[in-house]
Structure 1
Amino acid sequence: MTDHAPALPPVTDRAAFEAELDKLRVREKAHTREGDAIAAARRRLPMVEVDAGLELTGPDGPVTLLDAFEGRRQLLAYYFMWHHGHPAAGQCEGCTWCGSQVRELSYLHSRDITYAVLCQGPYEESRRYRDFLGWDMPWYSAVPSLDRLLTGRRVGMMHLVSYLRDGDRVFETWWTTNRGVESVDNSYRLMDLTAYGRQEPWEESPDGWPRSEEYIRLSHNGRPIPHWPRLEAGHSDDLTG
């Protein structure tokens, strides 16, 4: 960020402003309709069976992938990256960003969907990280079955995977990684509605707009951003127990 005041959009009268907004609205509506069409295509994808008995670790010990559905028909699983042996300050800023967006799950539950984190690290250590950040979503370690759960994909990256249950059988219906996981985010979506946007260097913005030198600015002073209010409130980030 620069120290001097950022540039400003040009000032106009209300009529000219509304005329320009009307032009943009055409593109926004087209974008919405294309998103609807993509979602419709996603619902028509084939699916592949996954071993429902693949082992996870939960608060009471070993459970299965089928157990993680909590009796619901669908499961959205976020595969949280984990840096083994690192303290809380060194854990994944991107996954912390994603986890911090997920709060109210009742709307998902009303559509027969369970949301859960399948962490790519050990249960006790990673669960303490969840507790430090004040999250309460279902949390499991996927370490016992990680290679099979993410077969053909790079382990150690963030992944969002959609599963469907048919009785005791489990099927994978869709997955994404990298910027695809922005589907869980609301902060960036809200930033995109503002004049200055995300303020990141990859964005196409007018000259003089504020921007960070970082590609994705999710940390501050060496920590993921959500750590700071939790530390200031007195919560411990000790992952060793």
Structure 2
Amino acid sequence: MNADPTTGPGMPAVVDRATWLAEVEALRVQEKAHTRRGDAIAAARRRLPMVEVDAATPLTGPDGPTTLLAAFEGRTQLIAYFHMWHDGHSAAEQCEGCTYFNGQVRELSHFHAHDVTYATLCQGPYDESVAYRDFMGWEVPWYSAQESMDVLRAGRTASFLLVCYLRRGERVFETYWTTGRGVEIMAPSYGLLDITAYGRQEDWEDSPAGWPAGGGRMRTDGRPTAQWSRLRAGRSDDLTGG
């Protein structure tokens, strides 16, 4: 006789619907408190001071040399993701984390409706790095900030950053920045995985014994996971044009 597949390691307990609903509603109290706490943190973030940044900080874009001010595209605010880059390396060797996070910011019209521009400031050369954007099929505005990284990072040693800027006329101000797990807000897949029974399946997660684990899924078979669908679609990952 086959064992019951709903019991044993790696399976939540099976209960009747009334009991299950009661458990969900009990958790909902914590979820609502978490939401309100997030609202309070966002309110504090809106009250932060700001620091001026040289609006003429040079970037390189599709039309050649440009500036940080121009990256606003005339809008009042700019959200910039600082994409890591490994010079001279193949697409397979590029940063899986940046590919994971930056690749999930796709629909830009909602930013534009709020007078906000989203753009990537890549730490590598423009021609090579924009070829990676095109290989991935992303449509976000893309600039090389290679020559200005020391200025834009302003002493911060983080290899990737998410930065918010505000423009007043011809002047630019930095209002907020984050790195590490702070950039998880860019990845809705994390939020959706968090509500599943098995979560992200990361080793650090607090999960019951027997739950699937084994580390992240940003890289599969030697390259960033999202690249495989591009290769199957026939795209070349040659970033040099050779």
CA distance in 1, matches of 2:220, 2:102: 17
Q: Does the 8 Å contact 2:87/2:124 carry over to 1?
A: yes
- Percent identity for Structure 1 against Structure 2: 65
Q: Point out where structure 1 has 5 or more consecutive residues left out of the alignment.
A: none
CA distance in 2, matches of 1:138, 1:100: 12
Name the counterpart of 2:104.
101
Task: State the AA in 1 paired with 2:220.
Answer: H
Name the counterpart of 1:76.
79
CA distance in 1, matches of 2:236, 2:88: 17
Name the counterpart of 1:38.
41
Name the counterpart of 1:26.
29
- Provide the TM-score with structure 2 as the length reference: 0.95
Instruction: Classify the secondary structure of the residue corresponding to 1:116.
Output: strand
Name the counterpart of 1:233.
233
RMSD: 1.0
Q: Point out where structure 2 has 5 or more consecutive residues left out of the alignment.
A: 1-7
Q: Equivalent of 2:167, from 153, 165, 176?
A: 165
Residue deviations 1:163-205 (CA, integer Å, cap 9, x gap): 0000000000000011111111111110001000000100000
**How much has 1:7 moved relative to structure 2?**
1.5
**How much has 1:131 moved relative to structure 2?**
0.3
Q: Equivalent of 1:52, from 40, 55, 64?
A: 55
1:61 aligns with 2:64: yes
Name the counterpart of 1:124.
127
Q: Does the 8 Å contact 2:104/2:188 carry over to 1?
A: yes
Residue deviations 1:73-111 (CA, integer Å, cap 9, x gap): 000000000011211000000000012201100001000
Residue deviations 1:142-174 (CA, integer Å, cap 9, x gap): 01211001101016x110000000000000000
Q: Does the 8 Å contact 2:9/2:209 carry over to 1?
A: no
Task: State the AA in 2 paired with 1:182.
Answer: E
Task: State the AA in 2 paired with 1:223.
Answer: R
**How much has 1:217 moved relative to structure 2?**
2.7
Name the counterpart of 1:191.
193
CA distance in 2, matches of 1:7, 1:183: 28
Name the counterpart of 2:145.
142
Task: State the AA in 2 paired with 1:239.
Answer: L
Q: Runs of at least 4 residues of structure 1 off by over 4 A?
A: none
Structure 1 220/167 Cα, relative in aligned 2: closer, same or farther at 3 Å? Answer: same
- Provide the TM-score with structure 1 as the length reference: 0.95
CA distance in 2, matches of 1:202, 1:172: 33
CA distance in 1, matches of 2:147, 2:62: 15
1:217-232 matches, cutoff 5 A: 217-232=217-232
